[in-house]
Amino acid sequence: MIKKIVKYFFIFVLGLLLVVLVFLFSAGLWHRWVTYPRFDKQVKAFQDRRKEPEALTALHTYRGALHAHSYWSHDSRGRLSDIIPAAKKAGIDFIFLTDHAHGDKDTIPRGYHGYYDGVLIEPGTEREGYCTWPLDSAVIDWTVKKDTVVKNVVTNGGIIFYAHSEEEHNWDNPYFQGMEIYNIHTDIKDESLRPLICNFITSGTKYKEWAMREIFDEQVDILAHWDALNSKRKIVGFAAVDAHENQNIRARYLEDGRVEWVGPDNHAIDTVEASIWNRWMFHAPDENGWIFKFMTDTYQASFNMVTNYVVADTLSVPSIANSLKKGNLFIAFKSLGDAKGFMFCSKNAEGKVSGILGDSVRIDNVKSFQVVSPLPGQFRLIRDGKVINVSADDQYQFTWSEPVRKGVYRLEMHIKIDGKYIPWVYTNPVYVY
Ligand SMILES: [Zn+2]
């Protein structure tokens, strides 16, 4: 009798556990087996429609990650062996790091600096709500008034961009040259974490990119704010990956043979003995010594989710920095499709290019705007924050030659996947004055 009761009790508990698991993972399982395979197929079909467009300028386009963290930040362990292979796989040409400062005196350059396996790395800092790259040897004294730091860096040739545009800033400080118009970390703030984590458990291996894109929301308020600022002064828009590769659970052997567990935000969880209770979970150490990895925000997935395409003459710090300051860049959600080859420019009466995205051009030099894209979609021309023209679907080209008047013209490209339009490219404006 007792045996029977125990047996039924166990069956009941197991059944209950199963119900709870199915409940927790139902959305994730549905994504893994239904939504993501379908989405993946549609994205691949979209990417297969690639046609190299005509080059409107002799300049090159380099793919870059701006606002990323390495081991120098307290909340990341990323080393070159993590960062560079990820950058290569994501097709990234340069990374402008923004490590958190260690103290009140911040010496730059520090850490990584230069070319690593062809990937250009420039060090910088994220502090007090901004991304800064002094570009030269500099000691930043953070005890000095914030606006003074900004002024000093910029007057010495460096770059200061607003980080985390959802936060409070002194938006009227004229020394700031740019702002984030998309940041993965900003976007994730309104998500509830449980479904995201369940999703990564079910789809993180096969469909990491789509599990990551679950966080995506069009940053309507930030874009509107950017337009409003641009109506007063030029402010460059860029994408921040804010990659730390730190939302993970990992384990590795310490020198004494014990196992260290590291959790989210680079916090050590525990150090334990290896035993039959945990050894079954471990694999052979990878190139960084990890024997267990459950990873969400990998460098590769972050670099691939949103990418800056900078138009410049060479892959060097002076050239890239110069283009960043001028706003000669557009951003694209690259996991949907690589936007290399895309270009937005103004043309004069003779049909010659008079300016590209980010440039300021005199009104008598602008007869029309032209856009070319390697992948088809819908073009939306925006003047002073208002959409003034929307092209038909599935276009590779867009020309607008209504009488052009003075204003700030930027372009968005949206693509149709799974029956829905989603933003793919945001350009910096052409400023017609
Ligand atoms: Zn950051």
* Ligand 1 centre distance from Cα of residue 245 (Å): 11
Q: Give distance in angstroms: CA of 126 to centre of ligand 1.
A: 6
Q: What is the DSSP letter of 204?
A: T
Whether 175 contacts 149, CB under 8 Å: no
- How many angstroms is it from 297 CA to the middle of ligand 1? 13
- Residue 383 Cα, ligand 1 centroid: separation in angstroms? 31
Ligand 1 center–CA 69 separation, angstroms: 7
Ligand 1: centre distance to CA 261 (Å): 24
How far is the centre of ligand 1, averaged over its atoms, from the C-alpha of 389 (Å)?
A: 35
Q: Could you give phi then psi for residue 150, rounded to 5 degrees?
A: -60, -50
Residue among 203, 142, 154 at smallest CA distance from 178: 154
* Distance from residue 94's CA to the centre of ligand 1 (Å): 17
Q: What whole-number distance in Å separates Cα of residue 26 and Cα of residue 29?
A: 5
**Residues 307 and 239: beta-carbon distance below 8 Å:** yes
> How many Å lie between the centroid of ligand 1 and the Cα of residue 55?
34
Q: How far, in Å, from the CA of 116 to the mean position of ligand 1?
A: 22
Distance 386 CA to ligand 1 centre (A): 31
Taking the centre of ligand 1 as the mean of its atom positions, its distance from the CA of residue 309, in whole angstroms, is 20
Q: Give me ligand 1 centre to Cα 133, in Å.
A: 14
Query: How many CB atoms sit inside 10 A of residue 167's CB?
Result: 9
* Distance in Å, CA 88 to ligand 1 centroid: 21
CA of 240 to the centre of ligand 1 (A): 8
Q: How far is the CA of 129 from the centre of ligand 1 (A)?
A: 9
Distance 241 CA to ligand 1 centre (A): 8
Q: How far does residue 61's CA lie from ligand 1's centre (Å)?
A: 25
As a dihedral over the C-alpha atoms of residue 102, residue 107, residue 108, residue 109, rounded to 10 degrees, the angle is -100
Q: What is the DSSP string of 274-331?
A: --TTTGGG--S--TT-EEEEEESS-HHHHHHHSEEEEEESSSSHHHHHHHHHHT-EEE
Tell the residue number behind the tokens 């963290």, with chain if given: 69
pLDDT of residue 350: 96
CA–CA separation, 322 and 133 (whole Å): 12
The pLDDT value recorded for residue 220 is: 97
393 Cα to the center of ligand 1, angstroms: 36
Beta bridge partners of 260: 252, 271
- Phi and psi at residue 426, to the nearest 5°: -120, 125
> Which of 254, 255, 427 has the alpha carbon at shortest distance from 357?
427
Output the CA 371–ligand 1 centroid distance in Å.
32
Alpha-helical runs (H) found in 31-78: 36-47
HSE-CB of 362 using CA atoms within 13 angstroms: 3
Q: Are 152 and 178 in contact (CB under 8 A)?
A: no
User: Could you tell me the distance, in angstroms and rounded to a whole number, from the CA of residue 62 to the centre of ligand 1?
Assistant: 22
From 362, 246, 228, select the one nearest 298 (Cα to Cα): 246
Say how far apart CA 377 and CA 392 lie, in whole Å: 8
Write down the pTM of the prediction.
0.92
CA of 397 to the centre of ligand 1 (A): 36
Cα(307) to centroid(ligand 1), Å: 16
- Which one, of 244, 267, 251, lies nearest residue 188 by Cα? 244
- Kindly provide the b/e burial profile for residues 168-199, where b requires at least 16 CB atoms within 10 angstroms of the residue's own CB: ebeeeeeebbbbbbbbbbbbbeeeeeeebbbb
Distance 372 CA to ligand 1 centre (A): 33
Per-residue pLDDT tens, the chain, 433 aa: give them: 778 888 888 888 888 888 888 787 888 889 999 999 999 999 999 999 999 999 999 999 999 999 999 988 888 888 899 999 999 999 999 999 999 988 888 889 888 999 999 999 999 999 989 899 999 888 999 999 988 999 999 999 999 999 999 999 999 999 999 999 999 999 999 988 888 888 888 888 899 999 999 999 999 999 999 999 999 999 999 999 998 888 888 999 999 999 999 888 878 889 999 888 888 999 999 888 899 988 888 999 999 999 999 999 999 999 999 999 999 999 999 999 999 999 999 999 999 999 999 999 999 999 999 999 999 999 999 999 999 999 999 999 999 999 999 999 999 999 999 889 999 999 999 999 9
Cβ(100)–Cβ(126) below 8 Å: yes
Q: How far is the CA of 242 from the centre of ligand 1 (A)?
A: 5
Centre of ligand 1 to C-alpha 67, Å, is: 6
Report the DSSP beta bridge partners of residue 122: 96
Q: How many angstroms is it from 97 CA to the middle of ligand 1?
A: 9
- Cα distance between residue 336 and residue 216, in whole Å: 12
Cα–Cα distance measured from residue 253 to residue 170, given in angstroms and rounded to the nearest whole number: 47
Cα angle 136-300-109, degrees, rounded to a multiple of 5 = 15
Q: Tell me how far the alpha carbon of residue 68 lies from the centroid of ligand 1, in angstroms.
A: 6
Find the 157 Cα to ligand 1 centroid distance in Å.
22
Q: What would the two tokens of residue 341 be?
A: 């080859």
